[in-house]
Copies of this chain bind each other. A is one copy, B any other.
Amino acid sequence: MALPDWFTALAAELRQWGRWGDDDQLGTLNLIDGAAVQRGAAEVRDGRRFSLAMRFDDQGPQVGSIPGRINPLRTMVAINTPYTEHGADGFCTSDDVVVMGLQASTHWDGLGHVSYGDRIWNGYPASSITAAGASRCGIHRVRSLTSRGVLLDVARALGVERMEPGQGVNAADLDAAAELARVTIEPGDVLLIRTGHAQLYRGRNRQAYTAGHQPGITAACPAWFKARDVAAVATDTLAFDQFPGEDHGVLFPAHLLDLVELGLTQGQNFDLEDLADDCAADGRYAFLLEASPIPFTGAVGSPVNPVAIK
């Protein structure tokens, strides 16, 4: 069974395998050069910081609909355990352990997270991912992920509190949000695209946030990202893609185009609400974004606490 022609053609057009060499494992993160980082640092004015992380506990975004992707469970292995004969009067220590799906809460998808046509980014075979993890494109290759960040507040540009479940973000929406931001996207920038959908999560309606229809990125967006050479893109949804998509003949087209064809690292479950309020208030939509993954060897994703600094 074949994917739709329009998709296949678009994929071929966007494909940039080999752009950074046949052995590249970073994709568009290569676009974060010193200049991009400096540009980000230059956006720091008064040093205010906004954490974009959702909860890392049993109230994280997962509701059981994705097999194996469990919310963080943190348990104790030591609680004020005395280490000396002083007992409680001397050194006592508490230690904890966590088990979690790496993609459970706020996270980056690594370039090994998705395959189609038996390929991952740069044309590596899908079989690069085994029970031992990602032998290619493991998240540990990404030693840092910090650059200038730009908020594209699509919901605000559309004049709505939050986009409708199932509503698509198209190229015109991105244009409108960029215009609202009055920022020229430059190579190496990291885009944070706001739909407002995370309000459902904040409102503790996890079922609707996670397992229902979701606004999100349409198949038209990756070309927009490529034209501007953005380094990475994150959204305030779980699916990233519009869900359900426009064409039932291809599931999650933006995932396929971004991760496999462009080599574009994607982020999900970024809570952009506080940041968006602040950007609307001061009119500044660019900032330094710090969002380096935990370099789990061979991982196809990583939890992250993204911090925007203005």
Q: Which A residues lie at the B interface, using CB under 8 A?
A: 1-3, 33-38, 41-42, 44-49, 51, 53, 55-59, 64, 66-70, 72-81, 83-103, 112-118, 126-127, 129-134, 140, 143-144, 146, 250-252, 255-256, 288, 290, 292-301, 303-305, 307, 309
Contact = CB atoms under 8 A, between A and B. Distances in A.
A46 B76 CA distance: 43
A309 B32 CA distance: 13
A221 to B, nearest CB: 17
Interface centre among A1, A78, A133 (most CB of B within 10 A): A78
Contacts of A115: 80, 88, 92-94
Contacts of A134: 94
Q: How many identical chains are in the complex?
A: 4
A252 B252 CA distance: 44
10 contacts: A38-B44, A38-B46, A73-B77, A74-B102, A89-B116, A89-B117, A91-B116, A96-B300, A98-B102, A143-B305
Contacts of A113: 93-95
Interface centre among A46, A66, A288 (most CB of B within 10 A): A288
Lowest 4 A-B CB distances belong to which pairs? A68-B77, A34-B47, A37-B47, A57-B297
A131 B79 contact: yes
A1 B131 contact: no
Contacts of A74: 102, 133, 296-299
A240 to B, nearest CB: 12
B77 A79 contact: no
Nearest to A45: B38
Contacts of A126: 80, 88, 92
A144 B96 contact: no
Interface centre among A51, A93, A250 (most CB of B within 10 A): A93
Given A95-B68, A96-B133, A97-B101, A307 B293 contact: no
Nearest to A300: B94
Contact of A295 (B68, B76, B305): B305
Nearest to A251: B91
A63 to B, nearest CB: 9
Nearest to A88: B118
B288 A41 contact: yes
Contacts of A98: 98-100, 102, 296, 299
A97 to B, nearest CB: 5
A251 B90 contact: yes
